[in-house]
Amino acid sequence: MQLPELACKALAAHRARQVAAGIVALPDAYVFTARNGKELEPRNVNRSFDRLLKRHGLKHVLLIANGVHPRVVMEMHRHADLAVPQHLRPRAADAYARCRRRPRCTTRALTMTGKKPKPLRPLPTTEQARDGGIVAAMNARYLLDAAIVLAGQDYPGPAVSLAVLALEEAVKGRALLGRVAVARTPGARYGFTDDQLRRLIYGPGHGLRHAAGLFQHMTPATLTALATGATPHSAEDKSAVEADLEAAEWLQRASKLKEGGIYVEFHDDHWHHPREMKKNEWDEALAVVEPFVNEAVRQAMGNLANKQAGKL
């Protein structure tokens, strides 16, 4: 099975840490092991994963966000009623509302609504994906440059909003260029389904773009830590994981930051104005978005050079 370079680097770094810790003695030893180096017990893996989902309330929200009706979620988890835990209600309600607004081209949607669903928009060809990825990446840089100008003129609110838009465009560009990379590599697998790619390109997929941005942004050290649960040993890897966690926390707030930077909003019993945003919020946004946009532009320039050379 062919793996992307990012995954290969993460696995190589993970194996090196295992060797350094004395866990792995043979080249063909298991990749993921228990703390004593022995084979993982499937039940322990399931229990650990379930605890992680339960701790962060992800199980309900992930199902509901992907279109599963709350009653079906209730039956799957053997709840006595439709009640969702108190701390999950805002996320679950918001996820299900977004799902209900999203048009689905299915027979079930037709029978439930009585309306003919809209036809699916066509996905771009490989050449169109390359051109679109280049344009989207360059637009991301354009939006971020405009944000930097606004921040320099003491408009941090609109600057943050433009930074979020720049991130979303960069995610779109990198997703399209990833499709080109897969077409260029026989046997490679693309990381998005057709439906997910449509949402990334055409919307509404802001939440998906932010989630995709998180996984596109992750370093090999973070991927290894997530896969194994092991704490990084080197200071460099620890710093990389910490930066990724900070980026993940910011991306969870990205939609609210984008709206709060341009709209007057009412919450917490009073009105909030974009002028309330502080410079440190802009600094935080720039720290997350700029490296991501720069990588999108780097990929775009490589694809542009291939296009000019008559290559895919």
Tell me: cis bond preceding 204? Omega within 30 of 0 counts.
Answer: yes
Q: Could you state, in order of their start, the residue ranges of all structural domains in the chain? A: 25-101, 126-308
H-type alpha helices, 102-185 = 107-113, 126-152, 156-184
> How far is Cα 121 from Cα 99, in angstroms, rounded to an integer?
18
> How far is Cα 130 from Cα 196, in angstroms, rounded to an integer?
18
- Indicate the residue type of 80: A
> How far is Cα 192 from Cα 189, in angstroms, rounded to an integer?
9
- Give the three-state DSSP class for 264: coil
- Region class of 223: left (phi > 0), else alpha (psi between -120 and 50), else beta: alpha
Summarize the confidence of residues 278-302 as an average pLDDT.
Answer: 94
- 63, 73 Cβ separation under 8 angstroms: yes
- Nearest one of 167, 174, 172, 175 to 144, comparing CA atoms: 167
In this prediction the pTM is: 0.60
User: pLDDT at position 106, please?
Assistant: 42
- Region class of 187: left (phi > 0), else alpha (psi between -120 and 50), else beta: left
User: In three state form, how does the secondary structure of 15-26 look?
Assistant: HHHHHHCCCCCC
Q: What is the pLDDT of residues 122-165, one digit of tens each?
A: 999 999 999 999 999 999 999 999 999 999 999 999 999 999 99
- Give the three-state DSSP class for 271: strand
Q: What is the pLDDT of residues 107-122, one digit of tens each?
A: 444 444 455 667 888 9
- Indicate the residue type of 309: A
